[in-house]
Structure 1
């Protein structure tokens, strides 16, 4: 007898389930991890971290702004518990004052000084971004004035500009005579604007240096291979790459020139045609007890800054810079 053929036997063919079996018996859904299921319930967690800064922002910024708007429509003197509604009379009184246009003329000196400040900061930032001997020392020296308190800066330059002081002594070496730098109405605003250039130029320089250092070095290498010098590298590589930072500096310069306060207030107190818009507002509120009129002036200043910022963004929109 021959042995049964078990090794070569083929297994029976498996029959596929009918097409409707998958519909009648669906696969059970996969359970998500517990962390994912609980994640949707904690969507408000980031807002818990933002609660404290938002509360401080609303308390010390937005609520005072709302109060300032409400005070501008009253005749409140800042002391009396009662204040009467006067409508737009504060704004009418403000725009009929010739001093308003005079203080804006003073702001033009600081605006011109801001242009000089930005140009000087760009120059030093570009030079100190390359391999320059003692560049870290020069960075510290140029940034140091920004770290000094504004009151100390004002008192230092009071001695610097006084008759027979440091500036007159240096100019005497070159045969120049003495000048009333802070007493002459034709020189006082130029002198004060020069102090602002010395103090704030270092801040813009640091901003520009940070932006320049973020430029890929391959762009400099490609420009050097094409025969570009330092000026061509600045014009075609550096300036287009840091355009957003330059735009930010221009916005800060315009708003800062309109709201100058501490340097002219400490050095001259607003005398000799050196009164700025903020000094005029402070005097209206605390010297003449016209808090309602001072609030209207502050609202006008805020609207002017917002308008100038909007126009600047409209005329010179920020374009996305591709660095490759």
Structure 2
């Protein structure tokens, strides 16, 4: 029997450590290359969406920012650099503050919308009869095209239309809902509430249904009523979704476009910031000034979102 090959080694001798850079084709492992592959592989899957995001989001934003420093009319092949003149012109226009006053109507409407959506989501999350039918009815307006909604409510609010006919049954006279500057923004904000309430209801409903049922059982044993269950179980559990809806409400109220543009075209003090920007670009051929207005709107939305995150930090909700 032959002696082992390690017999000639000294007592303190050790075998050589395995070579980590051996060729994997010879049966050896390469941990360094494996780590590189693990780091690089996810980026291969993200390459396509990141490319689309850069081409259709960040590149247009960069172009818009560059246009805001020029006097380009959108058609001329030449663009003259004007520096900050567009921003100075924008902030010295009194119409700027007027359109933000109009946004307050939509902001109040968003608060009403969130409260109504939270109420319906809470009611429909329980064992209400025909709850699936009511879910579909409330969510259906969000599926309709915004232009179609604008035309439908254009006839709904016209003089002698559907709304005036219903109100006449109760002895209320006709009103110029879209012609009266004191009523037009309230009417348009009401249309937005009707359209987007279903989306918020679905978000709240999904969050409420994710709450463990054991919490409701324990609250019922302790004698908690429905309001106490909402206050101490539902509201804290869906706080992140409420915060998200608040951010979407503020950004949406600042960038309203479809409904007022279709129904009034911005007349009778119903012009929003986006409608004003569109008119600057395509009616007055001031694309540079319109780009500056778009940049200002983007900065305002980002600033409001940051302030909301700062004042209402997202908290991790523990459900047990």
TM-score, normalized by the shorter chain, greater than 0.5 = yes
Is 2:134 aligned against 1:138? yes
Q: Match for 1:65 among 61, 68, 73?
A: 61
Q: Secondary structure at the match of 1:124?
A: helix
Q: Radius of gyration: which is bigger?
A: 1
| Distance (whole Å) between structure 2 residues aligned to residue 265 and residue 106 of structure 1 | 13
Structural mapping, 1:147-296, within 5 Å: 147-296=143-292
The equivalent of 1:6 in structure 2 is none
Residue 50 of structure 1 deviates from its aligned partner by 1.1
Query: CA deviation digits over 1:195-231, x for unaligned, max 9?
Result: 0000000000000001001111111111111110110
Q: Secondary structure at the match of 1:60?
A: helix
| Distance (whole Å) between structure 1 residues aligned to residue 282 and residue 53 of structure 2 | 26
The equivalent of 1:10 in structure 2 is none
| Distance (whole Å) between structure 2 residues aligned to residue 86 and residue 252 of structure 1 | 34
What do you get for the CA RMSD once the two structures are aligned? Answer: 1.8
Query: CA deviation digits over 1:261-286, x for unaligned, max 9?
Result: 00000000000000000000000000
Structure 2 residues without counterparts, runs of 5 or longer: 1-6
Query: CA deviation digits over 1:98-148, x for unaligned, max 9?
Result: 100000000000000000000000000000001100000000000000000
Q: Secondary structure at the match of 2:275?
A: helix
Q: Match for 1:40 among 7, 30, 35?
A: 35
Q: Secondary structure at the match of 1:164?
A: coil
The equivalent of 1:82 in structure 2 is 78
Structural mapping, 1:1-12, within 5 Å: none
Q: Secondary structure at the match of 1:269?
A: coil
Q: Secondary structure at the match of 2:218?
A: helix
| Distance (whole Å) between structure 2 residues aligned to residue 159 and residue 98 of structure 1 | 32
| Distance (whole Å) between structure 2 residues aligned to residue 42 and residue 248 of structure 1 | 36
Pair 1:280–1:35, CA change in 2 (3 A)? farther
Tell me the TM-score normalized by structure 2: 0.92
Aligned length: 305
Residue 40 of structure 1 deviates from its aligned partner by 2.9
Query: CA deviation digits over 1:66-104, x for unaligned, max 9?
Result: 011111111111111111111111011001101000000
